[in-house]
Structure 1
Amino acid sequence: MSVRGQGVVVTGAGRGIGRALAARLAAEGARVVVNDLDGPAAMAVADEIGAHAVPGDGASEAGVADLIDAARAHLGEIDCWFANAGIDRGHGLDASEDDWAASLEVNVLAHVRAARLLVPAWVERGSGRFVVTASAAGVLTMLGSPTYSVSKHGAVAFAEWLSATYRHRGVVVQAICPQGVRTRMLEQAAALQDLLSRDTALAPEDVAEAMWQALQDDRFLVLPHAEVGTYYASRATQTDRWLGGMNKLQQRLEGEGAL
């Protein structure tokens, strides 16, 4: 696949994985719109890679609509949408109602709102691509953070539904599910950093490379950490054994004072 000349939007592209995705796509000749709630960060990335910045909220109903309108005004057509923006808020059963609402808003409903506005036009013309940056937490779980685990499962589930419903109409859907990546989110994970990095913490550029390779064969599940595929299979076929193993990790973390 070539993205040369295609109109691409990457949300949450002011830093981390989003920045790396935007940079790789721009380097491959795509016409990229960089979106981030952090306006200066979005503009800095856009200047650096030769893209167009559209700062602002890419999650709320109005914010998504405004972003798509601005991107279409600049690009003409949106060929690929990289729903990369995500948050990790709230831990344990003490996570507040606001933490749950924000997690679902950014990590799930932002994707639903974008697809609602993009997919009909893609179906009409017979082509389009929707890529969700989920997480290994979306196919496994994330100890300590029910809000992140549940919302990232929701992101993967929505992407699966979208693919099952529209792939015969020319809409390609993909879900990126990395484990530990050297981003600000990992830096803020405190004692969980070791757990998230047990199979090596990748650079954001490594995730972008894995995504680029996945664009060549349209595979749905993009696993920058190959080990996640093994864990995913174990979770599906030996669920109680897998849960027992995760609970042992939970107990170890509690013993170390990490949770």
Structure 2
Amino acid sequence: MSSFDPAGACVVVTGAGNGIGAALAGALGARGARVVVADLDAAGAERTVAAIEAAGGTAVAAPGDAASVDGVAALIATARTAFGPIQAWFANAGVDRGRGLAAGEDEWALSLDVNVMAHVRAARELMPQWLESGGGRFVVTASAAGLLTMLEAPAYSVTKHGAVAFAEWLSATYRHRGIVVQAVCPQGVQTRMLTESGPLEEILSRDAALTPEQVAADVLAALDGDEFLILPHSDVADYYRARATDTDRWLSGMNRLQQKLDAAKETTDV
């Protein structure tokens, strides 16, 4: 079993200006990591850095796009300049765009770029260094949607499945060379994404919406090992198992939830 001690390590957390990313960056800083806080929201990134430093930690803000080819390269250059070789990458940034088949081409493209291709682009840059040094850790914040689905949100569901699939591929390809890959798959978390999900909020909170700090604590605990799936909501494992063993029954259950959503929307529209 491989473990990762954040103390003294250079770690990058994307989407760290708010929510799970901010909580994760703070938890890593508290464990002694030198944290590169990346976010499109420059003010949010600076807030996270200030909180880490106020608690006695070390961090630097790296505002910008952590998804594009140039943005990923710039972020990695910033991290290496600030703190040296990167030991762990927490690919936390994600977007939820578009609803149903009305989701537009631009919403699908953005979802694919941020939720999948950002991980691919980061891995391309990181793997040569990690293969040479003998190891590294790549942690993807996916979602329970990446193991199951999220009603109403096809772009989110499909790209989060892609995020999990890419993480699986990385693990299968490089784990014998010291590279640990993990996928964090929470269900409802008390973030802006949840509060803006409309009727879905009740479904996503069915097994209790966790705080970002609770999710971060689970991720930090998982760094002591190398288990691929990190499931802050333990019930997700049961849902995932049910989906695999009796797919039609699981789909029927999801369709019943969709019917409840349809009814709720009809009531709202009246």
Q: Residues 48-89 of structure 1: CA distance to partner in whole angstroms, max 9, x if unpaired?
A: 102110111100011001100111111111000000000000
* Moved segments of 4+, more than 2 Å: none
Q: Compute the displacement of 1:33 (Å).
A: 0.5
Q: CA RMSD in A?
A: 1.0
Distance (Å, rounded) in 2 between the aligned partners of 1:108 and 1:174: 15
**Unaligned 5+ runs, structure 1:** none
**What's 1:243 paired with?**
251
Matched, 1:221 2:245: no
2:147 to 139, 146, 159: 139
**What's 2:56 paired with?**
none
Alignment of 1:127-166 (within 5 A): 127-166=135-174
Matched, 1:21 2:24: yes
Q: Compute the displacement of 1:209 (Å).
A: 0.8
Q: What secondary structure does 1:34 align onto?
A: strand
Q: Residues 230-257 of structure 1: CA distance to partner in whole angstroms, max 9, x if unpaired?
A: 0000001110100010011111111111
Report the AA paired with residue 115 of structure 2: N
Matched, 1:57 2:58: no
Distance (Å, rounded) in 1 between the aligned partners of 2:224 and 2:84: 24
Q: Compute the displacement of 1:121 (Å).
A: 0.9
Q: Compute the displacement of 1:218 (Å).
A: 1.2
Report the AA paired with residue 14 of structure 1: G
Q: Compute the displacement of 1:136 (Å).
A: 0.2
**What's 1:43 paired with?**
46
**Unaligned 5+ runs, structure 2:** 54-58
**What's 2:9 paired with?**
6
Matched, 1:126 2:134: yes
Q: What secondary structure does 1:257 align onto?
A: helix
Q: Compute the displacement of 1:104 (Å).
A: 0.1
Report the AA paired with residue 163 of structure 2: A
Distance (Å, rounded) in 1 between the aligned partners of 2:43 and 2:262: 39
Report the AA paired with residue 101 of structure 1: A
Percent identity reads 63
**What's 1:70 paired with?**
78
Report the AA paired with residue 47 of structure 1: A
Distance (Å, rounded) in 1 between the aligned partners of 2:259 and 2:18: 34
Distance (Å, rounded) in 1 between the aligned partners of 2:91 and 2:5: 19
